[in-house]
Amino acid sequence: MSVCECDRNGCKEIVCDKYIMDHKYRLCWDCFHELEEQMKQWPAMMTRGEVAQKIIDFVHSEKTCRGNASEVVNTAETFKELTRDTWKY
């Protein structure tokens, strides 16, 4: 199996098989679902060029979630990171 990296800026996912824009870009499913969610906020009527530019802007935007849910990590370190107390007293 070959490595197919996500084209989203900042995404480290390497198992990506969702091609968009006539195979110009490849996204992981997490990023694609995020793009679908963002699309719901776009105007109902846009030109084809405007839609294409929004997709390109998304691909070039920084991935917003903190790490990939499917990324293989050290369990103990990640558990500490995700459960540490961040409250400021």
The chain-wide mean pLDDT, for the chain, equals 81
Whether 3 shows a pLDDT value over 80: the answer reads no
DSSP secondary structure of 35-74? HHHHHTTS-SS--HHHHHHHHHHHHHSPP-SSS-TT----
What DSSP designation does 10 have? Answer: T
CA distance 53 to 40: 15
Q: What CA–CA distance (Å, rounded) separates 29 from 31? A: 5
Contacts of 46 (CB under 8 A, 6+ apart): 54
pLDDT in tens, 37-61: 889 999 889 999 999 999 999 999 9
Q: How confident is the model at residue 25 (pLDDT cuts 50, 70, 90)?
A: very high
